[in-house]
Amino acid sequence: CSEPRSRYIRRNFTESSALLTRTHINYGVKGDVAVIRIKSSTSKVNTLSKELHSEFMEVMNEVWATNQIRNAVLISSKPGRFIAGADINMLATCKTPQEVTQVSQEAQRTFEKLEKAAKPVIAAISGSCLGGGLELAISCQYRIATKDGKTILGAPEVLLGILPGAGGTQRLPEMVGVPAVFDMMLTSRNIHADSAKKMGLVDQLVEPLGLGIKPPEEWTIEYLEAVAITFAKGLADKKISPKRDQGLVEKLTAYTMTIPFVRQQVYKKVEEKVQKETKGLYPAPLKIIDVVKTGIERGSDAGYLSESQKFGSLAMISESKALMGLYHGQVLCKKNKFGAPQKDVKRLAILGEGLKGAGITQVSVDKRLKTILKDATLTRLGHGQQQVFKGLNYKVNKKALTSFERDSIFSNLTGNVLKVDMVIEAVFEDLSLKHRVLKEVEAVIPDHCVFASNTSAFPISEIAAVSKRPEKVIGMHYFSPMDKMQLASAVAVSLKQGKVIIVVMDGPGFYTTRCLAPMMSEVIRILQEGVDLEKLDSLTTSFGFPVGAATLVDEVGVDVAKHMAEDLRKALGERFGGGNPELLTQMVSKGFLGRKSGKGFYIYQESVKSKNLNSDVDSILVSLKMPPKSEVSPGEDIQFRLVTRFVNEAVMCLREGILATPAEGDIAAVFGLGFPPCFGGPFCFVALYGPQKIVDRLKKYEAAYGKQFTPC
Amino acid sequence: MTTILTYPFKNLPTASKWALRFSIRPLSCSSQLRAAPAVQTKTKKTLAKPNIRNVVVVDGVRTPFLLSGTSYKDLMPHDLARAALTGLLHRTSVPKEVVDYIIFGTVIQEVKTSNVAREAALGAGFSDKTPAHTVTMACISANQAMTTGVGLIASGQCDVIVAGGVELMSDVPIRHSRKMRKLMLDLNKAKSMGQRLSLISKFRFNFLAPELPAVSEFSTSETMGHSADRLAAAFAVSRLEQDEYALRSHSLAKKAQDEGLLSDVVPFKVPGKDTVTKDNGIRPSSLEQMAKLKPAFIKPYGTVTAANSSFLTDGASAMLIMAEEKALAMGYKPKAYLRDFMYVSQDPKDQLLLGPTYATPKVLEKAGLTMNDIDAFEFHEAFSGQILANFKAMDSDWFAENYMGRKTKVGLPPLEKFNNWGGSLSLGHPFGATGCRLVMAAANRLQKEGGQYGLVAACAAGGQGHAMIVEAYPK
């Protein structure tokens, strides 16, 4: 027997690379297979830009013209990144819908050429393959993807208020079936490699490699390429068929979808659902349904035409501009603007009140930070631990984690060690309690340890007043996906926790609470004026808020809302008045604290989905009733009374320097407070709706109610 | 001359022993080198340690290793273990009352005989006064049994140990599903007819689906073959290389079998069947034949096939281990010393089968030896791809720097000294029993081929690994 050979046999092809070096795409020839490698040297990810598109065409033309080449493999040289989508800036430079339509049509033509070419192309996918990237991949004859967590496929266009504009709406239904295609495009769900394989979105999976004779990520790409080449040869030799075997269920679904009546029912159902969810505020989902329908019912020519036209018109409307603005803002907020922290936070302690503390703990252990959770009583600590476990176990049930990974992540939640780098306090909003906690903690923590207070109302300077080292005391406020803070290491922690971050200046209520408080106050006034709860909720949701205004108070907690209102009114004065705070006070005294206590404006019961009104609140409302002012009480005015107070306060925050940029304000409002995403945040809303019109509105309300509406 | 120099070493004062130890380390000890020049040229030092008892292998045996589902298929694991134990009694004629302790390794446990060591010992004619326990550490269970014994002897707790291992893959415990088990247990506790009926009403057909013993890693849910295939790819081991290596293993095993070198095998009269005298999995084929097989785990482009993997095997092994002075006092001529050993563990996902790579340099360093000092390598062959990936890892500076924290590579074991009498690929791999086979192969090879040191290494599920130095007992 011979000594093991040093070279991998599959790699024994000689490679002749094309002489020209391009910015985005290059190719080499291995035997009779052209390996086309995408590697945009100008950015971190590969995006389908105009330049990339034209280089791709250049390369393909060469490949098609070279006789020696029989087939091609399309692969990204960036580990973990295939093509993240089309370049959004490309759309931003277009001035008319026609221009955008043209962009779409060019891409359609290229991809069609690719699809129909005699030389098969295999897309070798490792990493994110989204939007335009997916559309390119499905134009290839065969798809191979690495089976790892980083490989995701999806059509997220709807999140930007547009639709897949490069043939995606036409090719996808054929590949995965109509029901699945609606699911993909309307929910913009990320599809992991193995479900993509099951759906028929990819044809073959490649196992990612672990450590070996090169860094695993790099080596996995080379392996993927080698496997793709063998498949390319197989395809060219007709040893492998690009057709895949469908399961029985799939065949049945496919069959039923050939019945026109069934199809019509599906369209109808999906449309109804979309109407219900979007309340008509987002046009893109309906257009997507329409385009898919056109393709299926009237043939692909009509489908492609409709796709490009609708793509053009969608890209120019305010909703998509707002959503794209949010996207840019989010990217911006995920960057660390403060540089590397002096000391990495490795151990984190969280002190705190039930749900919130546990929530922060959850995001921390999830990112493998050693976390210590402490609570006042063993029972409450138990609840916290259970919540963390439940969150992880949910992922196990969803097959996103194995039970073993869950256990090993859960082991990051540790016990009673105080050698921590950072303490996050999430005790109840009570200044003296916070002072006590701060003093107790400072007695035992090491010098470098950062103390972060989770407060939504108190200025940090007030909390830090009792600290021995106020420079290490910061504020951190978590919303479900959002937080704000003031220190590099805190930023680093939150980045590790996978959070979108906005940083604000210290001040009463900071930014988010300050915006929310006036709106809440207006909610109370509106209720006092006799608008019933359900109507108020439906008015707010139909404006685009994810939950109704009254429900929001319940969610936040009536006691918290009361605290917020009182503190801010004390600190910032009459502008935060409006409704009678007595309503909240009385509710708190009766124990109606919102969802957490089971009763607020509504009654909450475990396992009961429908909400019932809490009739006990009625009597309080009756006792505080005020006459409505008819000139400002129609539905639209109610909506605007809420929104303009929010927006007005946001602008004030920017002016006072609490906020650094409007983009951050938009992000925080949308992701933290649920400001309607279709307006892209308060600042974007001002721009889209027109500053003058808002001022006019404010003036009208000012005339009715006074100072609270004075435009800033 | 050789005898004079090596044998009385253990009687030498400690200081000079240390001097000799250092003498072969080329850099660290020029003064000692001058002090003991005569020894350095002729022979190597022994690995005896001051104040620690020497542990010797008197002898070891095994049943023939058979493909599962063949002649042993109607047996129970303790039957097979008993065969190895009686074989050892016959081979060594050790008086049963001197055995202090019996330890066996096993992996897939028969629940009825979960302490299989005790059940087998009782039936094999050992004294019922000899305690026995069973250990499990995947494919290095027998190694664990041996090293547990070494520990008991070295610490003075015992003088005579029987260590072994057994695996019967022809029969594995297939259980009722958890739901069915729960129902049955609840039914047991139910007091009234009403309670019973209400429990029975909860029965669903899917409760009857059986639960097979896991073939995959519990922590990663990946089967070992799958992991081996990825490992082979990660180290760029080709299909051809793997097939060539498997062919080598089978050819060498066949040669060893034909030449009668596999002297640890004892015949086993299987009740109701013929006497089994030799291993039945050795099947040298041709590269062409092997190339025709489809990948067994990663389809369709993987490289691990049935022909280049070890097969499911039934078999048992047993060894008589003693304190050296006890063996000599009883008039035995031991075969080998059991010297330094090392257990290692790594990530069970990507480094599942790299145990030998990690354990080898550590055990060599611990013993003060280098790769060149080893005359017989006996590595467990789980898969051709695994062995070759370990070779490539050991031969890679990049791997050593990045994953092992070493400045230079471990270095390759020379193939002409490696698994010369076949390995797990060809002889078979009864999980719990392989460790003793490796040690006996090393000991017997050192006796037959000459040479002083053998190195035994193995990987195991869970990302663990083991290595041990076997030193030939001076003739």
Rounded CA-CA distance B282/B424 in Å is: 10
Using a CB–CB cutoff of 8 Å, tell me whether B403 touches chain A.
yes
Our answer to whether residue B459 is catalytic in this structure is yes
Residues A517 and A605 in one domain: yes
| CA atoms of A419 and A422, how far apart (whole Å) | 9
Give the pLDDT score at A2: 41
**The pair of three-digit structure tokens given for residue A45, joined into one six-digit string:** 């990810």
Encode burial over B223-242: b for 16+ CB neighbours within 10 A, e otherwise.
Answer: ebbbbbbbbbbbbbbbbbbb
Q: Encode pLDDT of B125-177 as tens digits.
A: 899 999 999 999 999 999 999 999 999 999 999 999 999 999 999 999 999 99
Q: Are B399 and A216 an interchain contact pair (Cβ–Cβ within 8 Å)? A: no
A135 is catalytic: yes
Q: Where is the domain boundary, A467, A502, A537? A: A502
- Residue B365: the pLDDT is 96
Is the same domain home to A636 and A677? yes
Answer whether A212 sits within 8 Å of B349, measured CB to CB.
no
Of B43, B41, B49, nearest to B12 (Cα)?
Answer: B49
Instruction: Kindly state whether residues A475 and A575 are assigned to the same domain.
Output: no
- Tens digits of residue pLDDT in A603-651: 887 766 667 888 888 888 888 888 888 777 788 888 999 999 999 989 9
The answer to whether A213 contacts B218, with C-beta atoms less than 8 Å apart, is no
Report how many domains make up chain A. 3
Task: Provide the residue range defining the domain that includes A677.
Answer: 511-709
B247, B402, B403: residue with CB nearest A1 = B247
CATH number, domain containing residue A413: 3.40.50.720
> Could you tell me which chain B residue has the CA closest to the CA of A8?
B236
Q: How far is A230 from chain B (nearest CA, A)?
A: 8
B415 to chain A, any CB pair closer than 8 A? The answer is yes
- State the pLDDT at residue A354: 63
Nearest to B79 by CA among B166, B192, B179, B175: B166
**Chain B residues with CB-CB distance to A10 below 8 A:** 238
Residue contact B231–A11, C-beta within 8 A: no
* Chain A residues whose beta carbon lies within 8 Å of the beta carbon of residue B245: 1, 4
To which residue do tokens 């008039």 refer?
B331
Q: Report the gap between the CA of B350 and the closest CA in chain A (Å).
A: 5
Q: Do A402 and B221 touch (CB under 8 A)?
A: yes
Does this complex have an ipTM over 0.95? no
Mean pLDDT score of chain A: 84
Which domains does chain B carry?
Answer: 55-172+220-472 (3.40.47.10)
Same domain flag for A297 and A358: no
Residues of A with CB below 8 A from B350's CB?
A: 209-211, 216
- Mutate one of A73, A142, A144, A209 to test the B interface: name it (highest B CB count within 10 A): A209
d(CA A542, CA A40): 42
Last residue of a domain, one of A471, A502, A533: A502
Domain shared by A482 and A525, yes or no:
no
A557, A452: one domain:
no
Per-residue tokens: A449: 């340890």
The answer to whether residue A111 sits within a structural domain is yes
Share of chain A above pLDDT 70, in %: 90
Please tell me if residue B247 touches chain A, with a CB cutoff of 8 Å: yes
Q: What is the pLDDT of residue A42?
A: 84
Residue A14 lies in a domain: no
pLDDT at B35 over 60: no
Token duo for residue A483: 């937080």
Considering only CB atoms, which chain A residues are within 8 Å of B392? 4, 212-213
Convert the pLDDT of each residue in B211-263 to its tens digit: 988 778 888 889 999 999 999 999 999 999 999 999 999 999 999 999 999 99
Chain B residue nearest residue A229, CA to CA? B301
**Same structural domain, A312 and A371:** no
Q: Give dist(CA A128, CA B229) in Å, integer.
A: 25
Partner A contacted by B431 (CB < 8 A) = no
Q: Which residues, other chains included, contact A248 with Cβ-Cβ below 8 Å and sequence gap of 6+?
A: none
When pLDDT is averaged across residues A525-553 and rounded to a whole number, the result is 87
Please tell me which residue of chain B has the smallest CA distance to A12: B238
| Residue A335 maps to a domain | no
User: Which residues on B lie below 8 Å from A407 (Cβ)?
Assistant: none
pTM of the predicted model, to two decimals? Answer: 0.83
Residue A8 covered by a domain: no
Give domain status of residue A478, yes or no.
yes
Does residue A433 contact residue A427 with C-beta atoms inside 8 Å? yes
> Which residues of A make CB contacts under 8 Å with B?
1-5, 7-11, 206-216, 219, 223, 227, 230-231, 402, 404
What is residue B313's predicted lDDT score, i.e. its pLDDT? Answer: 97
Q: What pLDDT was estimated at residue A230?
A: 92
Same domain, A675 and A588: yes
CA distance A499 to chain B (A): 28
Residues A174 and A294 in one domain: yes
Of A502, A529, A556, which residue constitutes the final position of a domain?
Answer: A502
Same domain, A292 and A312: yes
B286 inside 8 A of chain A by CB: no
> Domain of A592: which CATH number?
1.10.1040.50
Neighbours of A368 (CB within 10 A): 12
Q: Please indicate, yes or no, if residue A66 is contained in any of the structural domains.
A: yes
- Give mean pLDDT, residues A165-179: 92
Q: Which residue has the higher pLDDT, B88 or A451?
A: B88
Is residue A532 located within the same domain as residue A393?
no
Q: What's the mean pLDDT in A183-190?
A: 91
Which one of the listed residues A51, A115, A135, A271 is annotated catalytic?
Answer: A135
Q: Is the residue at A364 inside a domain?
A: yes
Q: Which among B234, B301, B415 is the nearest to A212, CB-wise? A: B234
Is A4 inside any structural domain? Answer: no
Residue A168 and residue A136 in one domain? yes
Give the domain CATH number at A126.
Answer: 3.90.226.10
**Which pair of tokens denotes residue A254?**
């496919």
